[in-house]
Amino acid sequence: MQTKVVAKADQTKKTAATKQVAMAKDAMKAHKIKTCVTHMENAEKGMSKM
């Protein structure tokens, strides 16, 4: 997912998706799987709008 985000040209959407991926990583480190999934889904939704 992170690779897809970095490759996008729309800076606004790219920034939002990057934040979601970062929050997903933090949630994974904290063993909060549901939260991680939610952030990854949000990043994916933002990517599909690009």
What does the block give as tokens for 9?
A: 């040209």
**Does any domain span residue 6?**
no
Report which of residues 50 and 22 the model is more confident about.
22
Distance CA 9, CA 26 (A): 25
- pLDDT over 70 (residue 9): no
- The pLDDT tens digits of the residues spanning 15-33 come to 888 899 999 999 999 999 9
What does the block give as tokens for 5?
A: 């985000």
Closest CA to 2 of 19, 26, 21, 16: 21
Domain count, the chain: 1
**Does any domain span residue 10?**
no
Residue-number span of the structural domain to which 50 is assigned: 17-50
**Does any domain span residue 45?**
yes
For the entire predicted model, the pTM comes to 0.76
